[in-house]
Structure 1
Amino acid sequence: MYRQIRVNSAHTRFQKILFRNKDGELCDYELDTVTFGVNCEPFLAIRILQQLPQDIRGQYPLASDIISNFMYVDDVLAGTHTKRSAVLAIEELRLALESAGFPLRKWTSNERKLLQEVPKEHLISADFLELEEAIAPVRSLSIPRLELCGAVLLTELAALVISEMPPHVYETFYWTDSTIVLAWLSRPACTWTTFVANRVAKVEQCTDGSKWGHVRSEDNPADLASRAVSPQELKDSALWWRGPAWLHLKQEQCPSELWFHPKTELEQRPVKCHTVAVPSAVEILERFSAFDRALRVLAYVFRFVKSCRRKGVASSVELTAAGLSEVQERLIVLTQKNEFPAEYKVLSNKQPVPPASAISNLNPFLDGNGVLRARGRLQASEMLSYDEKHPIILPARCRFAELQVLFIHRISLNGGNQLMIRLIRFKFWIPKLKMMVNRTIHSCRVCVIHKKRLQTQLMGNLPRARSTFSRPFTHTGVDFAGPFDVKSYVATSDLTTEKFLVRSTSPKDSSPPRSSLSTPTSAPSLVRTSVSILPTAAVLIGSEQKRFDVRVLVDPSCPVSRIHVSLVKALNLTVTGVGNERLCTTEIRSKTSRMSKQLLMLVDEQMDPKVQDMFHNMTLADDRLFHPALVSAVLGADVYADLMLPGIIASQDDLPMAKNSKLGWILSGRGSLPKICKYSSCKGGRMFMPNS
């Protein structure tokens, strides 16, 4: 086709090629027609075909219409309603395209007589316009399903025919004589079983459900082909050639029974109803693995519920200690109602608990908030809190108790059995608590990893007198008594005098041993004066606005760092309540290094008088070692590992043990007061110890 289109002579110079002439010489040639490989070749070909119908419209009107609407590049697909018009169209189309240099080849038609005038070399051997009869599937199907397959075939045929028709807007209607198919098409595809749903969905993609109508069997031309109708009857049948009488009417003029939509339950998908029970707050705890996270999530949930019920909007985004305590109390009540329903019911009605109850021996009662507590026998105690006097009863096998035990194990820094049981029984009474604690510890990976056999102390070498053969009583020594610790307070130091009563004999001494506390000559005393030194350090504690130079006690046996309540008030620190405990955050800085650390410390309000009585007039190991002072804070096990550095000097020669830390060398233990004064020196706030 491209080679049949001539290019303007002014543009042929842009299509030059090198080719040999008859003599074999290379020459320049200009191509006069459209050439393959040029970017503009499709445009030039289509533009020629669009211009040709306009040029031949007056001479060949049928060919002009066919070329404009029924030609795709170099292929023509058209048809007519009569043989005469078809022959005329073939003749005009052949002459029109030949006048433009486009001779037609490969003719075919579903009517053989139309191609008699076409040369045989211009015909194709196969006909592609043969319609095949739709064959039912091999597997037997029900009549309604076959009718539905016919509706799908009608939809596909209509879509194919409409796509080949001139581009106009057509109003299309679809007819079927199956009321079941109409019922299937009138409802969504998801209503029916898989076979019907797939085909209904395919019909809905291509057609509008409102355009489907019902045709009765007596008005259906397709039924004539399935009946015993003679050819003469078909020839004279108006129904066969023109359809029912109402087919040519508008939709508004058609009988109303054509557009009804019946209903059916055939092939309807069974409806499956799933009931879901809303879990209670206690069952929701199964979704959490940490007690503190569960409290915070449920606190936000309860806050949202209150806001929706217009019971007040929270003033701040952060959760408060009161809000967390309220959530914990609600969870406790729900757990008790769920685990002790009979006991809770009779106590709510102010009736005694049945003797057969598992908690009857605890003499339970309900407090003002509806919490089930054990009465106990410690009501007269003035030192215990209300929770210690009347602990909250929790069942052994409930998620709340499991999370609570796991939470205590974590905040106690993987505490042992006795520590966890003591902390839990500050507030709760859980039956079989020891078993729960053991199960929690055994399932803790950290505890399993760090669990190992304790190392034993190697015994020292025996002295020569005890390891050498000698005559009996050659070397003897008897400890009559001791040591006796005699404490005396000299100046501001706690001095302890250790006295031993020893009787030594030798072969020359034949006098019998004697002992007397009042006679120094018979029992000479070996006196050593020692000082009790606590592991303390001088640090700066506070914030950027205010800091104090205080002494802190470094005690790894304390699970959580603590701070004196008076120091909290002096520094104006913010205190947050979590349950019955009060916490604050502060910064601690070393005076001997650049060490600085933010700590979360526990404020103990009942610590004030006890601390003063315990540490008053005690000698502390810092730059003011022999000056009396109070301990204002305790650095516990939570920061002990971060503070300590490699380096330790064992206790020797009446000197205390020294440990290296980020705060400097920390002295602890007992040592001789004169030697400490002799060998220790304070330089720049750092304690130096001798090597031996």
Structure 2
Amino acid sequence: MADIAKMYRQIWVDERDTQWQCIFWRPTSQQPLTTYQLQTVTYGTSCAPYLAVKCLQQLAIDEAKTYPIGSKITLSDFYVDNLISGAASIGEVIEIKNQTINLLNCAGFPLRKFASNVSEIVADISPEDKEETIRFHDTEFVKTLGLKWSPVEDCFLFHLVADNGVKTTKRSILSKLASFFDPIGLLNPLIVTCKILMQQLWKLKSPWDDEVPPGIKVHWELFNKQLPLLQTLKIPRYASIDIDTKLHAFADASTKAYGACVYAAWSDAYGEHSSLLCAKSRVAPTKEITLPRLELCAALMAAELMSAVNNILNLPDANVYCWSDSTIALAWIAGEQSRWNVFVANRVAKIQQLTKTFSWNHVPTDQNPADIVSRGACASELLQNTLWWHGPEFIQLSCDYWPSAVHVSQNELPEQRLQRTALIAIPTSDFISKHKYVNSYMKLLRIFAYVSRFIRGCRKQSSVNDCINISAPEMDEALELICRHIQIFHFQKTSTPLRLENNIATQS
């Protein structure tokens, strides 16, 4: 690791813009004020971070052919002016260091505050350009983007102290919660415990500076008393990331909170290993919500977290797995989003989009490390919790030893969208349908035969038949009439052109 010395002051501002960076200055109060124009990027202006980062990126692009490794590292491993990088061997890291130093020197960006977990890598760096170490409890550490990192032991440290003698109020609890700096969520079970207490105080509308209720006070004092135990906690930094590394994201929810955590699993000459990479949590909404819905929110958080991690590590999609102990949430994710109500459908759509190339699996609750995030924990519970720091044992094994899948019938799931059927009546000119209540085929033929006989008599096309009974030819004629009208009604597109052609042929 290293950072750029006075990064903003190494970048010139266009002369046309320096008039907007004016300051008044005089060495003594007796001398008149003098106006100066700052010619470099100035800390505090809204454009300063963009200008600084953009110059660094443009430098890496311009020098990519000369320093290919340094260019790649500059584009991917810098956070503003802080460099944190690594490689699989000492020789590769030394090459990264040399190329990055030379590339940045092309534009006057000197690197300083070097530190490494291998002293050989920074052996040629002058003492004044090395990061100053801080000694605490027989351990030397440096600050890395706010985290305490011991280069010698290659582990992360946390220094949290108890607030002894401080009145337990909503303000003091919030102040302590704000003092926790854990950007990757290694201590998330502790932080979510504080968040749950704060939510309870918020529901009670407790005043800021009044003593909290006794039940919350006892819980907080026990939590606060155990914070110094974390000073003995040492979290290994190293996790082997290569094409064979597998990523596992776990999700879980309780009525109080929900969360997700991501683990890396790999193997080497010393055996099988796994390690916690990051975690995230959120308290449950104050509005009442069902547990399956919270489980689905946790699954969405796991999908977002895994997508962000894999975008950085860029591992094959076949090596990425997502886990949940909720069979309902897994069935929702596996189903078609249009089947569910709006709340479920929206989240299922996002999950399916983020994890379309990943696989979702079921994990028993007792083997789900995200369960610790959703319920919270105190320092004593977290210190020796192997499930939290390394995940369940099965992620270090082949997929043959993984938990078996649990199937739920899609028809038995809640939150299914109601299927409404509308019956529409369309008026029709089919005169045959008007006789639908005639339940005898022969009776229908006789009705049409008598009507035909009456029409012929009115048109004087035949003599009046004194015989009451219908003859066989009249029955055949009635059947032909019925069939003709049925065909004309149901095959209009075909029958109309045929009738026109027939009329034309008859006239000609």
* TM-score tier after normalising by the smaller chain length: 0.3 to 0.5
Give 1 or 2: higher strand fraction.
1
**TM-score (structure 1 length as normaliser):** 0.31
Give 1 or 2: higher helix fraction.
2
**TM-score (structure 2 length as normaliser):** 0.40
Larger radius of gyration between Structure 1 and Structure 2: 1
